Amino acid sequence: MTSPVTQSLERIPDQLGYLVIHEDGAVIASSGELENDEKTAGIIMNMVHMASRVQLSPDRNDPFKRLSVVFDTYMFVITISNHKVYVCKRKYLPSEPINA
């Protein structure tokens, strides 16, 4: 399935794969390392449902914009748009030095 959105997901710099999940949990589109990765999709949907319950601002209708799950060398960036959850796996290249 190629739509303008999935085409632009392909062009995200350092992307390793993406998932488009319907809000009922069904995987609509996938590619790269996340191709047909239903397990990851399920885990991410749980995290999204959990995160959407967290009230970040006084306005209840102001949910998170982007959810980042960061690992050592890669990360998942997740956002919601039009009843679909967009997940992109990207290479994680820390640009700033770690000042512990």
Near another protein by CB under 8 A: residue from 38, 65, 71, 72: 65
Reported as type and span, the H/E element at residue 89 is strand 84-91
Query: Which residue type sits at 63?
Result: P
Interacting positions 19-58 with another protein (CB under 8 A): 23, 48-49, 52-53
Query: Strands, DSSP E only, in 23-62?
Result: 27-32
Angle at 55 between CA 45 and CA 92, to 5 degrees: 50
- Which residues contribute to the site for another protein (CB under 8 A)? 5, 8-9, 11-13, 18, 23, 48-49, 52-53, 61, 63, 65-66, 68, 70, 75, 77, 79-86, 88, 90, 92-94, 96, 98-100
